[in-house]
Structure 1
């Protein structure tokens, strides 16, 4: 069962989320909070699988609260559900440990799918946000940490741009098979399982800062 805690200071939004989650057999809402004070109390007695959290809230904003939750309860997954398409909010949320970033105008089925995906250990971010991550930063300490080759770093950039293996091959003048090998090596070296997790890793480790 996917146990969900909702953190948002708007009761209407929480009620809407509860309604759509209640229709699913594999998930349930186990707590609600309007901000950090209530969430801290809830987490003393409840161990949720996922917290769905807004950014603009009283007491602590969602980015600060994400950092706090991850420092105290690292196994809890966090989805930022916000109206903000701001690049800085997105980058800050991911760097503080958010496992997913969704916009409030997302279809309800996308929210449900995201909860399942994140509960399975993967990450979720909207394609519209990944396309903005289009520059690669060769920081010396990052290169040592991830041990990617120069070619793998090039492929990583193209993955962040949202290109398919075939498109990457055309851009880098290599075969689809070679791209597949590079992608596999990147996944193994960064210890990730999906393209969304690759992007999350790249953001959290400053490999792909915004232009």
Structure 2
């Protein structure tokens, strides 16, 4: 049975090489080789491929943002990330959003078909060295980073862990949504993360380790 695949990367030479490899692979129907995240998201939305191979970082819409949309919409699309390098916090976030595969670009030409076969069979392709990096939180000293938060930032973080929206947080702390967004931006920067999901995960883990 043919696997319907879309691949997206903003580097033309790499994209062309991956597209040629996929076209030459038995059982793969390449729907599109997209040079932008916006185009990739459009193809995913309209054609629902079985697998999306996405560059994590693209100038317009990166793979992480696309994965979030797929996760939120519950589309049956399995995502494989391509990256030159990924931080521990990025990997942790990708895992929390249900990524199926992680491939470093240096090894993509050699490992992509094997990764595709594993993911098609319902098995995740998550190299242990990359998963270990996520466990280490990208080298960030989490307790120290959390200790660096201001009292208001800690209060907002705890409300995020309880599932509060920005609007609800603003009402709870007597502030505005815009101010809450600024606080969240500062929190993300200090912790080296980029989502509420990862923030909640770090805080819960921190509490468990202290108890």
- 1:28 partner SS: strand
**RMSD of the TM alignment (CA)?**
2.8
Which ranges in structure 2 are unaligned for 5 or more consecutive residues? 137-197
Q: Does structure 1 residue 127 correspond to structure 2 residue 128?
A: yes
Task: Quote the residue 2:169 is aligned against.
Answer: none
Deviations 1:83-121 (A, max 9, x none): 114212211212222111110111524111111111121
Q: Is the 8 A contact 1:133 1:209 kept in 2?
A: no
Q: Which residue of the partner structure matches residue 8 of structure 2?
A: 7
Return the offset for 1:206: 4.8
Instruction: Extract unaligned runs of 5+ from structure 1.
Output: 136-202
Q: 1:83 to 1:58 in 2, by over 3 A?
A: same
Which of the pair is proportionally richer in helix?
A: 2
- Aligned pair in 2 of structure 1 residues 34, 132: CA closer, same or farther (>3 Å)? same
CA shift in 2, pair 1:14/1:121, >3 Å: same
Structure 1 residues 78 and 26: CA distance shift in structure 2, 3 A: same
Q: 1:11 to 1:130 in 2, by over 3 A?
A: same
CA contact (8 A) 1:79 1:101 kept: yes
Equivalence map 1:17-166=2 (5 Å): 17-106=18-107, 108-132=109-133
Q: TM-score, normalised by structure 1?
A: 0.59
Runs (4+) off by over 6 Å: 207-211
Give 1:134 shift.
5.5
The structural deviation recorded for 1:5 is 0.3
Kindly tell me the number of residue pairs found equivalent between the two proteins.
143
Quote the Cα distance in structure 1 between the aligned partners of 2:95 and 2:122: 15
1:130–1:37 CA distance, 2 compared to 1 (3 A): closer
Structure 1: how far apart are the matches of 2:45 and 2:75? 14
State the secondary structure of the residue aligned to 1:122.
Answer: coil
Counterpart of 1:15 in 2: which secondary structure? helix
Task: Report deviation, 1:133.
Answer: 5.5
